[in-house]
Amino acid sequence: MNFNCFNQPLTEEKIMKMMNLVYPMTLALAVTLAATGCRNHRPYGVTPIPNGRGGQVGDVGAGNTLSSSQMAGGGPQTDINSFDNMTQDRAALANYTIHFAFDSSTIRHSEDANLQSVASALNSDRSTKLIIEGNCDERGTEEYNRSLGDRRALAAREALAKLGVDPARVRTMSYGKDKPVDPGHNESAWSQNRRDDFVLLHPKTGA
């Protein structure tokens, strides 16, 4: 109900108009009071609750496949999709995983040799591409770790660029703390989990 009208002065005409509303309301109130016996421990209002759950979720059915045509916002800025039709080779560079200090995305000198090996693999076969997967230990909040993992992957991409790898051939992915290699809750596990994994991509045969 809107009471803004009462900010204006009450003319007799307006009062009479209101009374036209008040009489039926008063009558209704009187009838209600009579019906309920006007005893204050009886409920004076019945609130119907609609059946079914509140906020029922629509079915995510089979028709809900996502395609790039459904993507708003002009679609991908980079040629991110060019990485999709390639074969992932997780074994090729598995020995060159690099590790980080706690809460840091700075690449330590101890990791230089591994990065050099990754760069050599990429530089020796120009048809390949690379995914760098940034990961964190569990000591950090979830979305913070997703950004930290992102920084770790991006730091490796920058380092590889200095070693001659075109950044356009490199895609970064952060998994935050969702993909630990060691599920333990101690420093030995955490130090293994703070890492960048390198995944080599080959063109699909026949492509």
Give the interface with other proteins as residue ranges (CB under 8 A). Answer: 3, 6-7, 10, 15, 18-19, 22, 26, 40-61, 64, 66, 68, 70-78, 80, 84, 105, 139-144, 146-148, 150-151, 154, 171-176, 178-179, 183, 185
Q: How far is the CB of 113 from other proteins (least distance, A)?
A: 25
Instruction: Produce one character per residue of 5-44: b if its CB has 16 or more CB atoms within 10 Å, e if not.
Output: eeeeeeeeeeeeeeeeeeeeeeeeeeeeeeeeeeeeeeee
Q: Give the Cα separation of 196 and 110 in Å (integer).
A: 14
Residue closer to other proteins by CB (options 10, 31) is 10
The closest of 201, 200, 202, 195 to 133, measured between CA atoms, is 195
Residue closer to other proteins by CB (options 65, 124) is 65
Q: How far is the CB of 48 from other proteins (least distance, A)?
A: 5
Q: How far is the CB of 160 from other proteins (least distance, A)?
A: 14
Q: How far is the CB of 151 from other proteins (least distance, A)?
A: 5
Q: How far is the CB of 165 from other proteins (least distance, A)?
A: 15
Residue closer to other proteins by CB (options 43, 206) is 43
Instruction: Produce one character per residue of 153-175: b if its CB has 16 or more CB atoms within 10 Å, e if not.
Output: bbbbbebbeeeebeeebbbbbbb
**Residue 13 forms beta bridges with which residues?**
none
Residue 60 to residues 64, 66, 169, Cα–Cα distance (Å):
6, 12, 35
Residue closer to other proteins by CB (options 4, 124) is 4
Residue closer to other proteins by CB (options 48, 206) is 48
